[in-house]
Chain A
Amino acid sequence: MTQMETQPAAIAPGRVEPHPVIEMRDITIAFGGVRALDGVGLRLFPGEVHALMGENGAGKSTLIKALTGVYSIDSGSILIDGEEHTFSTPAAAQGAGISTVYQEVNLVPNLTVAENMLLGREPRKLGRIDVRAMNRRAQETLDRLGLDISPTSVLGEHPIAVQQLVAIARAVDVEARVLILDEPTSSLDADEVEKLFEVMRSLRDHGVAIVFVSHFLDQIYEISDRMTILRNGTLVGERMVAETTQLELVKLMIGRELEVLERIDREVAATEAIKSGQPVMKALGLSRKGALQAVDLELYEGEVIGLAGLLGSGRTELARLLFGADTADAGELQVGSKTRRLRSPRHAIDRRIAFSSENRRSEGVIEDLTVADNMLLALQASRGWLRPIPRAERSRLVSKYIETLDIRPANPQALMRNLSGGNQQKVLLARWLITQPRILILDEPTRGIDIGAKAQIQQVVADLARDGMSVVFISSELEEVLRLSDRLVVMRDRRKIDERPNQDVSVSDVLEIIAGSARAEEATRA
């Protein structure tokens, strides 16, 4: 194991640099014969934000887990301050000043914010936990980060975004020299992201090395100094962010030209004709206390409605009411020509409505079942347990969708938990397409997944709408909403504030609508 002295060729030559705080050399990790990482290197310098880039399954998470001692490495070496070092447990890594915040919040929902922040290192007095000191210390950290969260409140009562910020506060509370943020922004809105970036900049200026993983290219460009790009478990190279254009980066990540996105040009004008028919779904004053104020909505055949709005604006709440995941207190819902009360998801599925939740892990995947079972779950549920799907039909459906959606690994018997986020999302999409819905409600179907999978999912949505399916599309990425939708519904503060055809609407127009309505309200209040 001495041949790894050669540095990865892509590292920019001739630059005078301080010593890296962490250097990973030629790391290889295999799981049951499959190489998840093959000779990958990573250099982290103090006082920089280092973006780790790559599609889902490129090996970003594996590399992070190798660094933090979750996985042991098969070959290669990790140098910390120039000395070889391997951590056998995550706790050992944390002890050495390497803190990690993962995409999914890994905290205890029924403890308080302070308890979560100091879990495992509570201040003690006479052998007992000193609650007052704990709350004080948590408050200090939160103040330092400029976060307005009460340390004594119960974590589970906060929205996911706030929980995410608490997780980051927890990581910062430790004297961290290296902070690893794995997709920390996927559930944050723009303000919260900005707050996070402020925190990151201040930590960076204090000499902390930050590893940042995000699928939002704009965020990468706003905050990062340097990046390392991975593809299929191999190292593509290390680049300075300022010297690499976004287009170059995307090419490096996916290894081919990305013309896929270009092709999704929906013909918005054509849908005007469709609207002359009967709406397939019509909501009248649909509302639910504490979740959504009365909303009117019409959905036509072959139409994509984009729900735009910030996180917490009521987008998800509306989607859940349309599917019967929650029941409405007031208002009515017409599906086809009849008025329906959707009492349960089952009810909605029988009316050929499908809904893919924004919480992939808690409300979507069944982790310990196979890909095939996950795909067929909704169809099987609506057939009832007494009528199992015949074997031939099963394999026909499963292999058809594995192929059309390009799901990897293409193994129907793989356990769902072993798939990457993007592939899990595709399986969930397949679960609903198999039920042949008339109305498809997608809540954040592209969150936290790589650009290739994202383009594929967008393409599928566009194709489905052309074939006559009606789609309600929700995404925090306004560009994506604008690219796909025929009609825009803008939400704010749990109600609908605007609706318009998607013609010559730009991202800033939408933001203007949201901001404008806020200003108008303030004016009337004054």
Chain B
Amino acid sequence: MRKVLAHQLVWPTTALAVLLLVNVIATPTFFDIRMQDGHLYGSLIDILRNGAPVLLVALGMTLVIATRGIDLSVGAVAAISGAVACVYIAGSPEQGAASTAIVACSIALAVCVGLGLWNGFLVSVLGIQPIIATLVLMTAGRGLAMLVTDGQITTVNNDAFKRIGAGFVLTVPLSIVIALGVFCLAALVTRRTALGMLIESVGINPEASRLAGVRSRTIIWTVYVFGAFCAGVAGLMIASNTSAADANSAGLWIELDAILAVVIGGTSLAGGRFSLSGMLVGALFITTLATTIPTIGIPAETNYLFKAVVVIVVCLIQSPKARAALWVRRTAPLAGRATA
């Protein structure tokens, strides 16, 4: 029992289960999934679909945080990605062609990789603190996206592009497939090769890693590029879902949702050991929470406040110190030794 309780996934999973339970009580049909025109529909599917961009961004964020870093610019990068793709499609002579969509997405992702290189350069070569280095792009990035779209909401009409965020493959929404695909790929690459161990090593002790011959600089650079790439894909999904690029609100606050997902998943902001499966649970929790708030009748204006309270509670439950404090107060003082 103690072993089960000590496992890092227990608390986030419990929190997610409680949240789902609340939803079922509020809406008894919550777990229903129905087939319509060969596509799956239902609240759970919606949650997964809405959660796909957050999951992608959180995936990149996990690796960045594991190296002791943080990437605040992912929301802006997502906005730029959507803007570049939409503006290219809108300006193309064959707006509806599938090839146009493919070229547009490739250009958008290439731009994102470039932005990731910029972030990585600031952090790993110039040694600027990650929070400051990525703050630059966080603020400048939205301006850049506005510049690309000329300050307008650019709408496009391209079926292939629309499918990324709103399409289906074998009855399942395509965005879910993409997000899970990238997730599995990342999990495979970090845990089946030595990359995960080297990332953790750099995050725990950069200087000792350097002296052991680890290419710390390259690794740090790579995770920022990967983070920006994931944000780019998320940005394409968001733009595709509405067939429009909104430089102002696309991916707004997504960096915070991603950071929360990572933290709830048990990866420390101090760097080092990371957990992709924990992050997955965390991302699901965050998106389920976003769906739950209107369902249980919380007024829209207190939306953020409620979210903050729930997040704090989850974080407190996860903290061994806070748990010990609660535990000691309720039981005999002897129990306090359990944490020593």
Query: Which residues of A approach B to under 8 Å, CB–CB?
Result: 71-72, 74, 323, 325, 344-346, 349, 355, 357, 362-369, 373, 377-378, 380-389, 431
Contacting residues, chain A, for B337 (C-beta < 8 A) = 72, 74
Contact, CB under 8 Å: B193 / A388: yes
Query: Which residues of B approach A to under 8 Å, CB–CB?
Result: 192-195, 197-198, 200-201, 204-205, 207-215, 219, 272-273, 336-337, 340
Contact, CB under 8 Å: B204 / A355: no
Contacting residues, chain A, for B201 (C-beta < 8 A) = 366, 369, 373, 377
Q: Which residue of A lies closest to B333 (CB)?
A: A88
Q: Mind listing 21 A-B residue pairs with CB under 8 Å? A: A71-B340, A72-B336, A345-B210, A345-B211, A345-B212, A345-B213, A346-B213, A346-B214, A346-B215, A355-B211, A362-B207, A368-B204, A369-B200, A369-B201, A373-B197, A377-B197, A381-B209, A385-B194, A387-B193, A388-B192, A388-B193
Contact, CB under 8 Å: A378 / B213: yes
Contacting residues, chain B, for A378 (C-beta < 8 A) = 212-213
- Provided the pairs A366-B204, A368-B272, A369-B201 are in contact, do residues A385 and B212 lie with their beta carbons within 8 angstroms? no
Contact, CB under 8 Å: A369 / B197: yes
**Bound complex: CA A384 to CA B209 (Å):** 13
B interface: dominant SS? helix
B212 to chain A, nearest CB (A): 5
Partner of A357, one of B198, B200, B211: B211
- Provided the pairs A368-B273, A380-B198 are in contact, do residues A362 and B208 lie with their beta carbons within 8 angstroms? yes
Contacting residues, chain B, for A384 (C-beta < 8 A) = 194
- Provided the pairs A345-B213, A363-B211, A369-B200 are in contact, do residues A389 and B205 lie with their beta carbons within 8 angstroms? no
Contacting residues, chain A, for B193 (C-beta < 8 A) = 385-388
**Bound complex: CA A163 to CA B197 (Å):** 33
**Bound complex: CA A344 to CA B211 (Å):** 8
Contacting residues, chain B, for A368 (C-beta < 8 A) = 200, 204, 272-273
Q: Which residue of A lies closest to B215 (CB)?
A: A346
**Bound complex: CA A72 to CA B339 (Å):** 11
**Bound complex: CA A218 to CA B110 (Å):** 66
**Bound complex: CA A366 to CA B198 (Å):** 11
- Provided the pairs A380-B197, A381-B198, A386-B193 are in contact, do residues A362 and B205 lie with their beta carbons within 8 angstroms? yes
Contacting residues, chain B, for A381 (C-beta < 8 A) = 198, 209, 212-215
Q: Which 5 pairs, one residue from A and one from B, show the smallest C-beta to C-beta distance? A: A381-B213, A349-B213, A385-B195, A381-B214, A388-B194
**Bound complex: CA A385 to CA B194 (Å):** 5
Contacting residues, chain B, for A344 (C-beta < 8 A) = 210
Contacting residues, chain A, for B197 (C-beta < 8 A) = 369, 373, 377, 380
**Bound complex: CA A431 to CA B207 (Å):** 16
14 additional contacts (CB under 8 A) given A378-B212, A386-B194:
A72-B336, A72-B340, A346-B215, A355-B211, A357-B208, A363-B207, A365-B205, A366-B208, A366-B209, A368-B273, A380-B194, A381-B213, A385-B198, A388-B193
Partner of B205, one of A323, A345, A367, A387: A367
Contacting residues, chain A, for B208 (C-beta < 8 A) = 357, 362-366
Contacting residues, chain A, for B210 (C-beta < 8 A) = 344-345
**Bound complex: CA A319 to CA B200 (Å):** 27
A351 to chain B, nearest CB (A): 11
Contacting residues, chain A, for B214 (C-beta < 8 A) = 346, 377, 381
A89 to chain B, nearest CB (A): 12
Partner of A325, one of B195, B204, B211: B211
Contacting residues, chain A, for B194 (C-beta < 8 A) = 380, 383-389
